[in-house]
Chains A and B, each alone.
Chain A
Amino acid sequence: MTKSELIAALAEANPHLTGKDVETIVATIFDQISLALARGERVELRGFGAFTIKQRLARTGRNPRTGEAVPVDEKVVPFFKAGKELRSRVNKGAARTEPTRG
């Protein structure tokens, strides 16, 4: 599913809203999560999961093609941890499609 498919499905389920409204809603959600992470905050959506940032220290990387050493600056990376409910839903989906033996 892509963002546009998500928007289309929501618009269909909410005929009283314009497509533009639904687009704004979806964009607002992901923009706000991004901005919160950029401020160094965490976003916690119970049952779904939590978005946080993790600090990565500066290190010496290597250009995989030339083997040349390149300095990699300190940075932060976005991280998502699925909530309990979503984690078990994803895993139950597996149980339905591929029954596990003993």
Chain B
Amino acid sequence: MSTVTRAQLAETIYAQVGLSRNESADLLEAVLERISTALEAGESVKISGFGTFSVRQKGRRIGRNPKTGVEVPILPRRVLVFRPSQVLKGTVNGEVVDDDGEDS
């Protein structure tokens, strides 16, 4: 499967906005960094038409080493979850979805 990376995204910004390649890459990084900082603070990030990144608190539970069967405590932790919007779910299935079809 072909993979899109920072380089291609920055190249598209460069082509669409007319910033320098360097600045396009910096702006992409700034976007990812802002999102990361908000999530780090436990805040949800909602990108309409795309999806919502949110942080979920997981409680302490007892896990098991599947190889040895030994019980190990899994400490409380926070995990990141991404919920795609209706628009994105439609797009990946080749549908054209109205923006109003977006879930909250």
- Where the two chains meet, the residues of A that have a C-beta atom closer than 8 Å to any C-beta of B are 1-3, 6, 9-10, 13-14, 17, 21-22, 24-26, 28-30, 32-49, 53, 75-80, 82, 86-87, 89-94, 97-98, 100
Contact A98 B13 (CB under 8 A): no
Most A C-beta atoms less than 10 A away, residue of B4, B30, B88, B94: B4
Can you spell out 8 A-B residue pairs with CB atoms less than 8 angstroms apart?
Answer: A25-B13, A33-B4, A33-B50, A37-B88, A44-B3, A86-B36, A87-B79, A91-B78
Q: What residue of chain B has the Cβ atom nearest to residue A4's Cβ?
A: B48
Give the distance to chain A from B14, nearest Cβ to Cβ, in Å.
Answer: 10
Bound complex: CA A92 to CA B36 (Å): 12
Contact B4 A34 (CB under 8 A): no
B34 contact set on A, CB distance < 8 A: 1, 6, 9-10
Contact B4 A36 (CB under 8 A): yes
B35-55 interface with A by 8 A CB criterion: 35-36, 38-51, 53, 55
Q: Which 9 A-B pairs have the closest CB atoms?
A: A80-B82, A94-B78, A78-B84, A82-B80, A36-B4, A43-B4, A93-B40, A30-B50, A1-B38
Q: How large is the interface on B (under 10, 10 to 19, 20 to 34, 35 or more residues)?
A: 35 or more
- Where the two chains meet, the residues of B that have a C-beta atom closer than 8 Å to any C-beta of A are 1-6, 8-9, 12-13, 16-17, 19, 24, 27-28, 30-32, 34-36, 38-51, 53, 55, 57, 75-80, 82, 84, 88-89, 91-94
Q: Given A3-B47, A30-B49, A86-B36, are A42 and B77 neighbors across the interface (CB < 8 Å)?
A: no
